[in-house]
């Protein structure tokens, strides 16, 4: 029994997940300690227990069963995403929450996992080749459909996670460099358009140069650049049709100090909290910004500032090192897995977790836009925590079956 567990049980992923969840519970307790909001800590503890059970189930269920059920899971989440658009609850301007009898959550958290598994299942078919245009279009459509439904909610943050996960998946699947560049260039040009006319022109020239350098033929170059340019030119139109809170998030990212008492308040206060923690922090339950509740609902998207203030640069760096270790471990699992479905799934799961980590910690430090993404394993929220632990369970499963084709 011991030799079996030593060979097939992924202790590294298990212990890293367990440690991060415990740290998250400590931070949530601290963030709610002085405002008589202990109910959130108790709820998160229950969700952590449920997530632990789901993680172990996902770790030990046969990988072939996961692959066989992947499309059923995918279409189920698509159905729920449609239902949530019809009868879902609107929270912070986004109709993304679904509840029945007081119990609910965000189906988009599980749609990310389902999409990655469906994508991996499709590519693992023996008669599918990503180099063929028909198969590439089908693979992309697996991502585009849930992305569109989530964008309609609108949930810009989760849409970005989908896009950021798609890129490494395409690379891992073996698409050409030109296709990867063709996917990236519209984003570069769109960002340039948000910054101003001069930046838009510079981004357009840079995008054209990249596409021309990696071109497969002149026609493909012309089509890709034309699409990218059209997207860049439409940015202002899209911006004008966004919700006011979404516009404020974009302008706050470009200049957080411009509205310190409004849209930029959380970012400014978060930076103050993290900076005031110094090297070793103020001590657990002793953070001034945290205990005086300067940041509204800091136990959710801005949980990282609690970590930075109370445990300082040293504690925040240790937590980020643990996150990095989990991401690198996920890449290693993908690399050593002989099963294509498992390998692609591991890349997708690692992409989801890493995107959340980078954006959430970055927005707490004012380096990323505030787009409402939780910090994996730490931010308050049942759907996110259970989905995170479910993904770790899948990584453990791929590791256990790494030698099987």
Q: What is the pLDDT of residues 84-140, one digit of tens each?
A: 888 767 666 666 666 655 556 788 999 999 999 999 999 999 888 888 889 989 999
Tell me the average pLDDT of the chain.
87
Instruction: Look at the chain and count its residues.
Output: 405
Q: How confident is the model at residue 324 (pLDDT cuts 50, 70, 90)?
A: very high
Higher pLDDT, 158 or 57: 57
Residues 68-90: tens digit of each pLDDT: 999 999 999 999 999 888 876 76
pTM across the whole model: 0.90
Residues forming a β-bridge with 260: none
Mark residue 377 as left, alpha or beta (left: phi above 0; alpha: psi -120 to 50; beta: remaining): left
For the chain, what is the largest distance between any 2 Cα atoms, rounded to a whole number of angstroms? 65
- Which tens digits make up the pLDDT trace of 257-284? 566 665 577 888 888 889 888 999 899 8
Radius of gyration of the CA atoms of the chain, in A: 22
Give the pair of three-digit tokens for residue 258: 């411009």
- Tokens 């340019």, residue located: 229
Q: How far apart are CA 122 and CA 139, in angstroms?
A: 7
Judged by average pLDDT, the poorest of 94-108, 183-197, 352-366 is 94-108
Distances (CA, A) of 402 to 7, 336, 364, 388: 11, 6, 36, 21
**Range name among 44-48, 95-99, 392-396 with the lowest pLDDT average:** 95-99
> What are the C-alpha distances in Å from 63 to residues 70, 330, 353, 381?
10, 16, 20, 28
């Amino acid at each position: 029994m011991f030799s079996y567990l030593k060979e097939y049980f992924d202790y590294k992923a298990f212990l890293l997940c367990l440690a991060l969840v415990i740290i998250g519970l400590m931070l949530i307790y601290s963030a709610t300690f002085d405002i008589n909001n202990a109910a959130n800590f108790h709820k998160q503890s229950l969700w952590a227990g449920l997530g632990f059970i789901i993680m172990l189930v996902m770790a030990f269920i046969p990988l072939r069963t996961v692959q066989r059920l992947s499309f059923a899971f995918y279409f189920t989440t698509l159905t729920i995403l449609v239902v949530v658009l019809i009868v879902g609850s609107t929270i912070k301007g986004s109709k993304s929450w679904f509840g029945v009898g007081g119990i609910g959550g965000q189906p988009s958290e599980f749609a990310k996992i389902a999409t990655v598994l469906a994508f991996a299942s499709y590519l693992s078919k023996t008669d599918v080749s990503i180099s063929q245009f028909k198969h590439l279009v089908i693979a992309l459509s697996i991502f585009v459909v849930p992305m569109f439904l989530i964008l309609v909610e609108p949930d810009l943050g989760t849409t970005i996670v989908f896009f950021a996960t798609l890129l490494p998946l395409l690379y891992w699947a073996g698409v050409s460099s030109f296709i990867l560049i063709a996917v990236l260039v519209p984003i570069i040009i769109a960002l340039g358009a948000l910054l101003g006319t001069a930046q838009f022109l510079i981004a357009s020239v840079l995008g054209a140069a990249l596409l021309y350098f990696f071109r497969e033929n002149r026609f493909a170059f012309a089509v890709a650049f034309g699409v990218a340019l059209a997207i860049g030119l439409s940015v202002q139109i899209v911006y004008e049709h966004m919700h006011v809170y979404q516009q404020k998030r974009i302008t706050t990212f470009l200049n957080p100090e411009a509205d310190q008492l409004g849209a930029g308040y959380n970012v400014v206060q978060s930076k103050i909290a993290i900076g005031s923690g110094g090297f070793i922090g103020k001590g657990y339950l002793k953070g001034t910004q945290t205990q005086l509740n300067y940041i509204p609902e800091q136990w959710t998207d801005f949980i990282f500032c609690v970590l930075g203030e109370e445990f300082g640069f040293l504690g925040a760096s240790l937590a980020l090192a643990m996150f990095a270790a989990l991401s690198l471990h996920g890449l290693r699992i993908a690399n050593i897995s002989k099963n294509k479905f498992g390998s692609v799934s591991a890349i997708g799961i690692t992409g989801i977790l890493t995107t959340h980590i980078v954006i959430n910690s970055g927005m707490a430090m004012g380096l990323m836009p505030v787009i409402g993404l939780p910090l994996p394993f730490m931010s308050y929220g049942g759907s996110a925590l259970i989905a995170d632990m479910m993904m770790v369970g899948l990584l453990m499963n791929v590791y256990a079956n790494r030698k099987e084709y």
